[in-house]
Chain A
């Protein structure tokens, strides 16, 4: 998976800024996507392209359980969010609904990857390659259940082995 980085060098990007509450009534996802990141970055839509990745700090997606947040980002073309850590509901919504990959990165990757850098994510090798800077970082491997749900293509396609 290859894409360019949109970097928000801050912690605690909450779901209220990813998709403000007034839009939660909207269930037309193309329309919802036009409001993505409206609470944080009015220029988001002029820079986002299909296949891009967001890079951010700790506790990405904290706050509300609104699945509108990963949905809005994915409908803008975002394929993965790379962050130092994720809030739990955003994380599981992204995975269970198969909207985008939540990738946990370390401080080196966070510091080393800049806005616009071209990144290649190799989930099977747990590696993130920065093609622009010719550097490679490790990503935190997915836990077993998360890996299986991602591989299946979301929770509904995952067939659990219930003993």
Chain B
């Protein structure tokens, strides 16, 4: 069995599973946030009316709650949602509720790794499509809707069809200024935005072995944009060290068997990779940056679970150091721990000296929620994950998706810019 099959077999109490088997998997960790959480609360209310008991959760210690989409509260309704969420976690004894303004908080997927909340081999589900991110730690990490999350909270298990796995073998070392974001945009461009639909996208090869855990997180994060059920990288010592440095002890290890089967294998040479952007209005609509349209940008947005981890900010700072931005530039670290590290290491000074605005951790404008949404006809380059019509604001705004280095270089010139050409 490959790693995903092994995880799902273990979680469903079977000696082995194969693609297309339908299983009920016992869940190890579950997450909800200020958008899926209120949805869960509505499901609970409805169940109560139907006479189904919602008095206690299956295991509140396995649940965590993030406040990320509309925080700091964007207006009255989102403020009310945060209040409801706090009442819910209090009532059900959920201790891992990361509240804004009370120490560590941030985007749910970022917390999953920053706080070492998920371990290799876990079945981890979250009420958000980018739950796939956390597969970079070697977990089966999969996004679900709020009805499914409510079901998990009460029953501790959920059904899955065991996915086929597509394996992406990436060889060699990435050239300077080429980031994991460029790799995943290239892959999505090649296979299309349903190219991974219902399947696992697994990443391996010497490039991945050498890659930081944070870069692997970027790869797995955007498997969602190819429609994948989950993304995964087999864990190694780097993952153990990463989680241990964040307080985890006895980090388990799991690998696929040597005769693991894959539905398809794609092979890439890192040396051929280039900085990429996805043009409006789909993440698979890619072009290399040097051939991107010569548009006048209005904004550069460096944020989100995809593109505002510490490593992403460090990459942006490398470009912005000693330079000035020519267009509105917003930088929103994805969690307080990252914000703090960016402060301690001087990144925030570089950003502010360059003229950028540094905001609080939030999903913010990535999903068109608040904090910098786009006006009609505005054009943005963004380190986020989607660029569908209206994704970041007005239906007639446009978003180009890029790596943090490209977004930073473009902030300096006001045009879509390859950082090697600055």
Q: Report if A162-B35 is in contact (Cβ < 8 Å); known contacts: A96-B148, A155-B147.
A: no
Shortest CB-to-CB span from A123 to chain B, Å, is 19
Pick from B73-81, B209-217, B405-413 the stretch touching chain A: B73-81
Considering the complex, give the chain B residue whose CB is closest to the CB of A163.
B13
A47 at the interface (CB under 8 A from B): no
Nearest Cβ on chain A to B146's Cβ, whole angstroms: 5
A63 and B69 CA atoms in complex are apart in Å by 16
Q: Which of A59, A68, A96, A155 contacts B194 (CB 8 A)?
A: A59
A12 touches B390 (CB 8 A): no
Q: Which A-chain residue is minimally distant from B81 (CB atoms)? A: A25
Inter-subunit contact A27/B395 (CB<8 Å): no
| Contacting residue for B227 out of A59, A92, A156, A162, CB 8 A | A59
Stretch at the interface among A14-22, A48-56, A128-136: A14-22
Stretch at the interface among A1-9, A73-81, A83-91, A108-116: A83-91
In the complex the two chains form, what is the Cα distance from A26 to B76 in whole Å? 11
Q: Assess A85 versus B197: contact at CB under 8 Å? Given A27-B38, A145-B22, A155-B148.
A: yes
- The answer to whether A145 and B386 have CB atoms under 8 Å apart is no
Residues in A with CB closer than 8 Å to B389 are 16-17, 39-40
Q: Is the interface of A mostly helix, strand, loop or mixed?
A: loop
Q: Which residues of chain A are near B415, meaning CB under 8 Å?
A: none
Contact of B2 with A by CB under 8 A: no
B110 proximal to A (CB < 8 A): no
Chain B residues numbered 341-384 whose CB sits less than 8 Å from any CB in chain A:
367-370, 373
A24 touches B227 (CB 8 A): no
| Nearest B residue (CB) for A160 | B24
In chain B between 201 and 256, which residues have their CB closer than 8 angstroms to a CB of chain A? 227, 229
List residues 138-152 of chain B with CB under 8 A from any CB of chain A.
Answer: 143-148, 151
Residues of A within 8 A of B312 (CB): none
In the complex, what's the smallest C-beta–C-beta distance from A60 to chain B, in angstroms?
10
The verdict on B161 contacting chain A, using a C-beta distance below 8 Å, is: yes
Encoded as 1 (CB less than 8 Å from any B CB) or 0, chain A from 132 to 163 comes to 00000000000111000000001110001011
Contact, CB under 8 Å: A16 / B77: no
What is the distance, in angstroms, from B17's C-beta to the closest C-beta of chain A? Answer: 13
Contact B39 A92 (CB under 8 A): no
B35 touches A62 (CB 8 A): no
Minimum distance in angstroms from B171 CB to a CB of chain A: 30
Q: Does B52 interact with chain A (Cβ within 8 Å)?
A: yes
Give the CA-CA distance A17 to B281 in the complex, in Å. 11
Q: Is the CB of B42 within 8 A of A27?
A: yes
| A64 partner residues in chain B, CB cutoff 8 A | 128-129, 367, 386
Known: A59-B193, A162-B24. A25 touches B388 (CB 8 A): no
Residue of A nearest to B366 (CB): A21
B149 to chain A, nearest CB (A): 9
With A65-B143, A93-B145 as known contacts, state yes or no: A21 contacts B367, CB within 8 Å: yes
CB distance from A90 to the nearest CB of B (A): 9
Chain B residues near A16: list those with CB within 8 A. Answer: 367-368, 386, 388-391
Chain B hits for A156, CB < 8 A = 47, 52, 147, 151
Say yes or no: B36 contacts A65, CB within 8 Å: yes
Extra inter-chain contacts (8) besides given A17-B389, A85-B194, CB under 8 Å: A22-B370, A39-B389, A39-B390, A64-B128, A65-B143, A89-B144, A155-B148, A155-B151
Contacts from B to A (Cβ < 8 Å): 13, 22, 24, 34-36, 38-39, 41-42, 47, 52, 69-70, 74, 77-78, 81, 127-129, 131, 143-148, 151, 159, 161, 193-194, 197-198, 227, 229, 282, 367-370, 373, 386, 388-391, 395
A-B contact pairs, 25 of them (CB 8 A): A12-B194, A14-B388, A16-B390, A17-B388, A20-B368, A20-B390, A21-B369, A21-B391, A22-B369, A22-B370, A25-B369, A27-B41, A39-B389, A39-B390, A59-B193, A63-B129, A65-B127, A67-B36, A67-B39, A67-B147, A89-B129, A93-B148, A96-B148, A162-B24, A163-B13
